Amino acid sequence: MNKLQRIIATGLVAVPLVLGMPGCKKADNEPNTNQTRTEQVQEDNQLRNTVLSYLSEPKFSNSDFMEQITGTKAELQMLNLREGMVYLSIPERQFKKEALGELAVNPNLVEFGRTANGEFSGSRIELGDYVLKKPGNYFFRFPSNNFRVDKTDTVSIPYRSANYSLNMQELQDFVSNKSVFGGYLNADTGTDRYGRHQIIANHGAFVAKKGESSLERLVGPLTRNENTDEGKTQKLLDFVTEELKYDYSDANSSAEVLKRPNEVLMTGGSDCSGKVILYASLLEQTGVDYRLVYINEHITVAVEGDYGNRNGLNFNIGDTTYSIAETTARGFQIGRSRLTQNLGIEDIKYIQRPGEDSKIYDAKTGKALPFR
């Protein structure tokens, strides 16, 4: 093969890597520590799967994720599920022998690639069936279940107004969907004139529940000087619109990309979908009432509160007034800012309040859409 192939896990789910084997059965008269050891192995493997998932899908994590969790400049080149192997590279000038101990539980299982001349570094390094063309780097592999993980690690992403940090348990809870509402991924809006079903993504399934600790730590400093719900809601919107970029690669993807809120923060931005999911997740931590508002090829948020209606973007559900809080317009002021693109209340097609088993309702008929 003339170039390195990438075999990666598509979508951030727990990658089914090789699990550790439980210990031997203890005699009845000895303390039964086997269960504890087995549980520890399972926990380590779950965390390892989470970490390798993010490493193999850099679109969902921060660029220095590997360095933060291993302390090395290594780069994951391939996660080969068939072989149960991880293939990595590391710059020759930044390589230290201690790096292997940071990356592998047992460094003796590490196998290095070589050039045709037997050198460890060069323009073409062969390792098994693969070739790395990356001069100035070492190329090596070891079993994926030998990848070292440390449950005390944390990941930190600095922003102008506050730092976002999460520990490994919080990261794992996001990937396992424990921290988000979850549910069906798609809702059926009906059929077109050809009888084909029209689908929208269920964004509410990705919104974080109230009490998610990493987001609570972020919301605190962002809203510390605000005493009203309206002030807190605007401050959180300022953070989303001004400090997280609009990611056109997400918007222009051939398939809709939905990120969990931690992934939006880890990558520094997203399209309207990711920004809405993040903003809704932050609002969940404050207790402010809100709705997800689905429009043709767009989604936004509406928040409860007294913001005025200078821009004509308020609407009522029963006796409650909601105002559009547009997450993709930099500096958007709720109740005041107007949008350059025409967006009126009449354009709202579907409304959702995220939660356990939440439904998406047709704004005109009030009927719930069936999930698929």
pLDDT of residue 36: 74
Residues 194 and 284 in one domain: yes
Domain that holds residue 171: 155-362
Residue 370 lies inside a defined structural domain of this protein: no
The answer to whether residue 21 sits within a structural domain is no
3 pLDDT above the threshold of 70: no
Are 141 and 192 members of one domain? no
Is there a single domain that holds both residue 159 and residue 265? yes
Crossing angle (nearest 10°) for helices 34-56 and 168-175: 70
pLDDT tens digits, one per residue of 147-204: 999 999 999 999 999 999 999 999 999 999 999 999 999 999 999 999 999 999 999 9
**Per-residue pLDDT reduced to its tens digit, 205-257:** 999 999 999 999 999 999 999 999 999 999 999 999 999 999 988 777 667 78
CB 104 within 8 A of CB 148: yes
Choosing from 117, 146, 175, the residue where a domain stops is 146
pLDDT digit string, tens, across residues 150-159: 999 999 999 9
The whole-angstrom separation of Cα 349 and Cα 362 is 6
How many domains is the chain partitioned into structurally?
Answer: 2
Q: What mean pLDDT value characterizes the chain?
A: 89
pLDDT band at 131, cuts 50/70/90? very high
- 20: in domain: no
Task: Specify the CATH number for the domain of residue 334.
Answer: 3.10.620
Burial 341-371 (b: 16+ CB within 10 A, else e): eebeeeebebbbbbeeebbbbebeeeeebee
Where among 91, 123, 146 does a domain terminate? Answer: 146
Question: Domain check: are 83 and 117 in the same one?
Answer: yes
Q: What percent of the chain has pLDDT over 70?
A: 89
Is beta strand 298-304 parallel, antiparallel or unpaired with respect to 314-317? unpaired
Q: Are 201 and 186 in contact (CB under 8 A)?
A: yes
Does 193 share its domain with 308? yes
Answer yes or no: is 351 within a domain: yes
Predicted confidence (pLDDT) at residue 304 exceeds the cutoff of 80: yes
Is 89 part of any domain?
yes
Those residues with Cβ within 8 angstroms of residue 234's Cβ, 6 or more apart along the chain or in another chain: 226, 333, 334
**75 and 211 share a domain?**
no
Tell me how far apart the alpha carbons of residues 213 and 359 are, in angstroms, rounded to a whole number: 26
- Do 281 and 221 lie in one domain? The reply is yes
Q: For residue 84, how many other CB atoms are within 10 A of its CB?
A: 14
**Does residue 29 surpass a pLDDT of 50?**
no
Q: Residue 93 in 3-state DSSP?
A: helix
Q: What is the pLDDT of residue 43?
A: 84
